[in-house]
A and B are shown apart, each in its own frame.
Chain A
Amino acid sequence: MNDDRKLLKALLGPEGPELTCEQCFEELDRYVELELAGADADAEVPGMQAHLEGCPACHEDHESLKTLAGRDI
């Protein structure tokens, strides 16, 4: 993605409903384990994917938890 696209994505954010940062944190462990189990995490936790696209900090937290929890399986 070039600079213009990154900027547009950052300015406009995700389309549609999304969780808040607090809701994201509350649901993050469940969402990650659904992902690791191969379940439809996005259907089970509506709004999570959109929030992870729109919030860089929560996106990073998700990546870290998914990697770390994945090592325990």
Chain B
Amino acid sequence: MASVTVGPMEAQIAPSFADADSDAWVAALRAPGPAREAASARLHELLLRAARFEVNRRRVALPHLRGDDFDDLALQSADDALMAILAKLDSFRGESRFTTWAYKFALLEAAVKLRKRAWQGREVPLKPETWELFAAERSSPQGRAERGELLGELQVAIDGELTPHQREVLVALAINGVPIDVLAERLNTTRGALYKTLHDARRKLRAHIAGKGMALESASEEEGR
């Protein structure tokens, strides 16, 4: 994942979690020769533990994989996370424990690989026929009239106000539940770019509904909090 400049948030003074253990990790990983190799090996063990944790959380969703497949996924995730961490070591700001900072790389690598594996060989639905799914949701027996009316107006906005790309992304991510990493791979783009598209599409939908004088939050969130 590409790094970005966070901007104004970087100026905020947050509680520092820098500790001796984190300092020791960074120093060892920057040391020359055998000390660095030893630290890298210890870090790999840590990352493998994190990757296995993520694999174990998700393995029930992948019943067609064998134990060896999960082991390979965890190992590959730890390998890739180690490479990413060593390349980005200078970006560790000491605002969390080093281990927490490192974990997130392994968890991300494992989660992305597992989502992609779960969708391997499956068609990613992007096309207009998926509106049948939307219609089926709309006619759900649990649906109240207010939400049905809102969903109907949203379909008008989706058809009429979104660009074709925004419509495809919204249909795939929000209606059909395609994981964003899977869609990014299929469309040869990035998670960040897709989320920006989704965000823009959602803003258009909200503006359309507001323009119609319809209430948003009461319909979508009152039972969701």
Contacts and interface: CB of A to CB of B under 8 A. Distances in A.
A10 B196 contact: no
A contacts with B: majority SS: helix
A44 B140 contact: no
Interface in A32-73: 32-34, 37, 39, 44-46, 54-57, 60-61, 64-65, 67-69, 72
Contact of A33 (B54, B97, B220): B97
Given A9-B220, A12-B205, A4 B100 contact: no
Contacts of B181: 57
Contacts of B179: 56-57
A4 B151 contact: yes
B4 A26 contact: yes
Contacts of A44: 12, 14-15
A62 B187 CA distance: 25
Contacts of B74: none
Given A2-B140, A22-B192, A64-B53, 13 more contacts: A2-B142, A3-B143, A7-B137, A11-B158, A11-B174, A11-B175, A21-B192, A27-B9, A30-B95, A34-B14, A54-B199, A57-B191, A69-B103
